[in-house]
Amino acid sequence: MALSILLLLLGLFLVVEPLSVAAQTANISLGSSLTASQDSSAWQSPSGTFAFGFRRIADQDLFLLAIWYDKIPDKSIVWYANGDNPAPKGSKLELTTDGQLTLTGPRSQEIWKPESVLSGRVAYAVMLDTGNFVLANNNADYLWQSFKDLKDTVLPTQVLEIGEKLNSRQTANSYSQGRFQLQLKSDGRLVLYPIALPTEFAYQPYYQSNTSDAVDEMNSGYQLSFNESGYLNVVRRNGNIDKLINKMSMSCTFLISLSQLFDYARL
C-alpha cells in the first residue's frame, strides 16, 4: 500500500496547500491573552491562512488550544497543545509580560505550558503563514516553535530530525495519543508502526523506507522533509534525496476528501 494512503488510514496526515509568500508578520506582544469560549478570538497568520487559539471539542464544554487552517470550511486542526488535558470554558492563554506562554484554568490551575523553551527572553509570539507558531527573542531567534512539538500532522516546510515522531490522535474528537507512530529512526529509516499504550512498545511496522545503509553511514537518512512543492523526502547524510511521496499521489489522495477519510478511518 502506498505510504500516503497508509498515513491517511492511520489518522496521521500531511496537508498541502499552496503557501502564500507574505513576508510580513503580525507580532503578538507580551501581555496579550485569549480566553476559551464559544466565540473567542484567535491569533491569525498575516495572510489569514492559519489561526492559533481555542477550539471547542465537539459535544463537550471543553477546549483545545490549537492551530488550524482558517481558510477552509472545516478548519482542520493541524496542531494542539493540551490533547490530554482539555481546558474548561473560561481558561486563559496568556503571553505574560515576562515572556511566558501559559494556559491556566478558571481557578488559575496550570493546564499546559510549552516544553523545551530555549533560554533567553521571549519578546513576542507570531503565528506564521507556514503554520508554525513561534516564541521569538529580540533577534527573531525562535526560542520555541510548534513545528518542534510534533503531534499528528506535518506541514510543508516542516522537517523531522532523527528520533522525532508523529503520533496519531485517539479518535476524531479525542486528542490524546493514539496507537500509531511515524518515526525517523536513528539508522535513517522512516518507519510507521502501531504501538502499545502507555508503554509505546512498537509492533511490526506497516511501512519502512529503504533509507538505511549499515555499511556506509553517510548514505543513511537523517532528515524527513516535507517541502513546499508537496514532496515528502528523506534526506541522506551525503545529500542524496529519496522521494517517498510526490505531489501527484498527494493530490490524488486529497481529491478523495480528507475529512471523509478521517471520519471512517481514525482508530
Ligand X SMILES: *[C@@H]1O[C@H](CO)[C@@H](O)[C@H](O)[C@H]1NC(C)=O
Q: Contact, 143 vs 125, CB < 8 A? A: no
Using CB under 6 A, which of 13, 69, 147, 231 touches ligand X? 231
User: Residues 171-182, buried b or exposed e (16+ Cβ, 10 A)?
Assistant: eeebbebbbbbb
Is residue 219 helix, strand or coil?
Answer: helix
Closest CA to 154 of 257, 252, 226: 226
List the x/- string, 157-196, binding to ligand X by CB under 6 A.
----------------------------------------
Task: Copy the grid coordinates of residue 225.
Answer: 522533509
Q: Which stretch binds ligand X (CB under 6 A): 55-63, 106-114, 166-174, 226-234?
A: 226-234
DSSP conformational letter for 147:
G
Q: Which stretch binds ligand X (CB under 6 A): 2-10, 95-103, 159-167, 229-237?
A: 229-237
d(CA 211, CA 207): 12
d(CA 90, CA 130): 29
Q: Which of residues 105-164 bind ligand X (CB under 6 A)?
A: 123-124, 138, 140
- 210 near ligand X, rule: CB under 6 A: yes
Of 22 and 123, which CB lies nearer to ligand X in the complex structure? Answer: 123
Of 23 and 58, which CB lies nearer to ligand X in the complex structure? Answer: 23
d(CA 56, CA 40): 10
- 243 near ligand X, rule: CB under 6 A: yes
Q: Which of residues 17-36 bind ligand X (CB under 6 A)?
A: 25, 27
Is residue 192 helix, strand or coil?
Answer: strand
Of 27 and 173, which CB lies nearer to ligand X in the complex structure? Answer: 27
Residues lying near ligand X in the complex (CB under 6 A): 25, 27, 123-124, 138, 140, 210, 227-229, 231, 233, 241, 243
